């Protein structure tokens, strides 16, 4: 099949997909298309003569669940994931999914596509990383199929997507854990104004008045994801409430860490991140399972 002078291949299983990749080195994958189609210079791509659609590969739509986690294929849409997890996922993930886009657009956004956009980061990678989710990658570029499982954050270095050509996300494994304290906060539009947008995912458990199992991931759509902090590790076992002087000190040092690890974070994004972190740390109390809405 051909589309605007491009050959269109629609494999129906992983084996057919594998053969299509091996026989057509000048391909581009097409999944939900929400990111690709908004870029007029990317589709149809002048450098790619072959479009390989993933729309009929059943393995990429599979969903399995047990008491500890849910495994979802890369072609599952965010709306479908929302339906599946409405009674199972924690508020952190549910709020992220609800605020990802409008209902109509969520019907097109695939989980794999949301994680594998090449030049911009949206909200889902940070939240899934914060939850300890993993991805199963499938390497189709060699004669023998190879798979490996890695944490979400290992897919990125600064704002570079570490996904080699010929490799796809096969499925995502999402833990079914809930936390005593959860925050998802998104300021600004990562699409319309990525240089000012900040996406913030935070979770922690509270044992009486002590903080543990704390993790924070902040996304700057153009600059990347920051999810490693020596400063926040100091908070493990800390007593709450945290006094304002301490939250101010921690937030300033956190911004200094971002400066050391990411390039291109704007002054507005730094200021917003600092204020959000101060607010969230100040709100840490023994109150159970609190969630903020997107602002």
The string of pLDDT tens digits covering residues 18-32 is: 999 999 988 888 875
Q: What is the pLDDT of residue 289?
A: 47
pLDDT band at 103 (very low <50, low <70, confident <90, very high): confident
Q: What is the pLDDT of residue 140?
A: 94
The string of pLDDT tens digits covering residues 230-278 is: 887 888 888 888 888 989 999 999 999 999 999 999 999 999 999 999 9
pLDDT band at 187 (very low <50, low <70, confident <90, very high): very high
Average per-residue pLDDT in the chain? Answer: 85
CA dist list (Å): 132 to 121, 163, 216, 245:
18, 19, 11, 30
Q: What is the pLDDT of residue 4?
A: 56
pLDDT band at 294 (very low <50, low <70, confident <90, very high): very low
Q: Which residues of 67-77 are buried (b: 16+ CB within 10 A; e: fewer)?
A: eebbbbbbbbb
Q: What is the pLDDT of residue 293?
A: 46
Query: Which structure tokens are listed for 102?
Result: 């409008």
Q: Most confidently modeled of 4-13, 105-114, 213-222?
A: 213-222
State percent of the chain over pLDDT 70.
88
Q: What is the pLDDT of residue 75?
A: 94
Q: What is the pLDDT of residue 108?
A: 83
- pLDDT over 80 at 144, yes or no: yes
pLDDT band at 132 (very low <50, low <70, confident <90, very high): very high
- pLDDT over 60 at 150, yes or no: yes
- pLDDT over 50 at 174, yes or no: yes
The string of pLDDT tens digits covering residues 36-95 is: 444 444 444 556 678 898 999 999 999 998 889 999 999 999 888 888 777 678 889 989
pLDDT band at 203 (very low <50, low <70, confident <90, very high): very high
Which residue do the tokens 């972190």 mark? 277
The more confidently predicted of residues 118 and 47 is: 118
**Alpha-carbon dihedral sign for residues 36, 155, 123, 224:** negative
| HEC secondary structure over the chain | CEECCEEEECCCCHHHHHHHHHHCCCEEEECCCCCCCCCCCCCCCCCCCEEEECCCCHHHHCEEECCCEEEEECCCEHHHHHHHHCCCCCHHHHHHHHCCCCHHHHCCCEHHHHHHCCCCCCHHHHHHHHHCCEEEEEECCCCCCEEEEEEHHHHEECCEECCCCCEEEEEEEEECCCCCEEEEEEECCCCCCCCCCEEEEEEEEEECCEEEEEEEEEEECCCEEECCCHHHHCCCCCECCCCHHHHHHHHHHHHHHHHHHCCCCCHHHHHHHHHHHHHHHHHCCCCCCECCCCC
Burial class (CB in 10 A: 0-12, 13-18, 19+), 225: buried
């Amino acid at each position: 099949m051909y589309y605007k002078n491009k050959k269109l291949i629609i494999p129906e299983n992983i084996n057919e997909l594998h053969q299509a990749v091996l026989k057509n080195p000048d391909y581009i994958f097409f999944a939900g298309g929400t990111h690709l189609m908004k870029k007029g210079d990317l589709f149809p791509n002048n450098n790619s003569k072959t479009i390989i659609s993933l729309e009929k590969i059943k393995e990429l739509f599979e969903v399995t669940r047990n008491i500890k986690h849910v495994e979802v294929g890369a072609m599952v849409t965010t709306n479908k994931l929302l339906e599946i997890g409405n009674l199972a996922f924690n508020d952190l993930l549910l709020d992220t999914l609800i605020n990802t886009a409008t209902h109509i657009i969520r019907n097109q956004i695939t989980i794999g596509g949301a994680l594998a956009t090449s030049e911009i980061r949206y909200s889902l990678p940070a939240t899934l990383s914060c939850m300890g989710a993993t991805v199963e990658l499938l390497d189709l570029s060699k004669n023998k199929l190879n798979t490996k499982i890695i944490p979400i954050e290992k897919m990125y270095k600064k704002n570079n997507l570490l996904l080699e050509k010929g490799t796809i996300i096969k499925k995502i494994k999402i833990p079914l854990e809930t936390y005593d304290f959860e925050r998802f906060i998104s300021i600004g539009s990562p699409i319309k104004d990525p240089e000012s947008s900040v996406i913030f995912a935070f979770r922690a458990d509270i044992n009486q008045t002590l903080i543990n199992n704390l993790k924070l991931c902040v996304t700057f759509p153009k600059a990347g994801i920051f999810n490693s902090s020596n400063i926040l590790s100091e908070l493990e076992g800390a007593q709450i409430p945290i006094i304002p002087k301490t939250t101010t000190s921690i937030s300033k040092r956190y911004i200094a860490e971002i400066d050391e690890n990411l390039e291109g974070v704007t002054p507005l994004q730094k200021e917003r991140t600092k204020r959000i972190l101060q607010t969230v740390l100040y709100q840490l109390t023994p109150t159970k399972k609190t969630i903020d809405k997107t602002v």
